Amino acid sequence: MFSREAVIRVKGISKRYEIYTNPSDRLKQFILPKLASAFKIKALDYFREFWALKDVSFELRRGDTVGIIGSNGSGKSTLLQIICGTLTPTHGEVEISGRVAALLELGSGFNYEFTGRENAYLNATLLGLTKDQIDDRFNSIVDFSGIGEFIDQPVKSYSSGMIVRLAFSVIAHVDAEILVIDEALAVGDSLFTQKCMRYLRTFMKNGTVIFVTHDTASVNSLCNRAIWIEKGQIVAMGTPKRITEDYLEAIMHKEGNTSLSYLDFSSISPPEFNAIGITDERMEYINQSDLRNNISSYGFDSCAPSFGAGGAKIVNVSIQDKNNKVLSCITGGEIVVIKIEAIVLQNLSSPIIGFMIKDRLGQTLFGDNTYISHVNTRLDCKKGTNLAATFEFQMPRLPIGSYFLTAAIADGTQSNHTQQHWIHDAIQFKSESTSVTSGLLGIPMIQIKLNATN
């Protein structure tokens, strides 16, 4: 039986597949061993064995968030399918306590001829909801997915991102105690990934999550345990930091080097240092290219998810350069100004405005607020007062990808305040070009040298 608080117990799981070289070998294997048995002679095998999993055992407790990592073909997805019951193990057993909701391969469990509505009802039913329960939650499922009127179109007309949106929306509404996710969120767009990550962080407070990923940063950010699988066997289990470090070391050792490519800036002469002593040596290239700016795509999203007591409302957020030009593409190393504008809807005695920059997984990279710089300045703001906070700083270098700015206005002190309006993902912006080689942030270097002497 389970140990105390265990919700998943995997015991001695092995999975064997028969690999046939020719289609005719499959027919031979079906007929000839039976004839050999009838004549009491030794039967030949016309296949080779492939063991996707070999004697895998572990136990997960309630509240665990476990990341499973490993190279392609290591058996990660096979393990998840066995846990979910969509595959039967050759040997071993799985014991589960609680309702499992799974997001496996893209479109898994969907009938592509059915509409999104029909598939939502079908999947929710398979996950244990009654029709009345689905009726009550259907509008919320559609709202969460964001696919709108396409809900009544056949799924075969959906993009891969829309399929993931609908599939995740269903599993987010079935009162599961265990979530199993197999890399499917990698095909979703950045805004929906942010929404999923917020849901997962809330779910993880009480539920159990297992997910397969190649993104070691997300394992370190989300998980309290990690499992490394190679060639169908568990190599190591433990803390995410130790397991991901060992995994990356093994990958680099296996490949002999890291295959990283960057834009060629060799023909650009580094400019003179500016007044603060640091310059982004790529700016000449960036400003002459088409990497800047598609402003219309990345404006302030007033309809982004938000919450708060309602004593104030954020009405605009922008990222600008020193000349007040709105930016939607950040390279790092440049001076930027974040401007947050708000209107006071109820009298406030000590307003605080702040921001956080997050990556696509919802990891907070950095942020700040106005409290410390204005701790001795009392702003008695009456209803109807307009507030504007500006933050001028040198942007760190960011790896290529999408980023999000969360903005908030509160009333009180740093340690004791009431959030009046907190708006997630107020702005999305991108890093299009970078020299960051590892980590979440890069440092604008003054100079890099390599000297050799005999």
How large is the average pLDDT for residues 406-434? 86
pLDDT at 272 over 50: no
Closest by Cα among 88, 58, 83 to 179: 83
Strand partners, 412: 417
- Please write the tens of the pLDDT for every residue from 32-71: 878 877 777 887 887 888 999 999 999 999 889 999 999 8
DSSP sequence for 81-137: HHHHTSS--SEEEEEE-S-EEEE-STTTT--TTSBHHHHHHHHHHHTT--HHHHHHH
pLDDT band at 280 (very low <50, low <70, confident <90, very high): very low
Q: What is the mean pLDDT of the chain?
A: 82
Lowest mean pLDDT segment, chosen from 42-46, 231-235, 238-242, 373-377: 373-377
342 forms beta bridges with 314, 387
Beta carbons of 336 and 392 less than 8 angstroms apart: yes
Indicate if the pLDDT at residue 257 is higher than 60: no
Residue 12 CB-half CA count within 13 A: 4
First to last CA, the chain: 67
At residue 18, does pLDDT exceed 80?
yes
And the tokens for 381?
Answer: 């703001």
- Would strands 306-307 and 417-431 be described as parallel, antiparallel, or unpaired? antiparallel
Q: Structural domains in the chain?
A: 6-255 (3.40.50.300), 297-431 (2.70.50.60)
User: CA 6 to CA 207: how far, in whole Å?
Assistant: 12
Does residue 313 have a pLDDT over 50?
yes
Encode pLDDT of 81-119 as tens digits: 999 888 999 999 999 998 888 887 666 678 889 999 999
Q: Is 110 exposed, middle or buried (0-12, 13-18, 19+ CB in 10 A)?
A: buried
Helix (H, G, I), strand (E, B) or coil at 234: strand
- Token output for 223: 């998980």
Q: Which residues of 263-273 are buried (b: 16+ CB within 10 A; e: fewer)?
A: eeeeeeeeeee
Residue 23 has pLDDT above 80, yes or no: yes
Higher pLDDT pick, 341 / 446: 341
pTM for the structure as a whole? 0.67
Q: How many Å apart are CA 329 and CA 73, to the nearest integer? A: 37
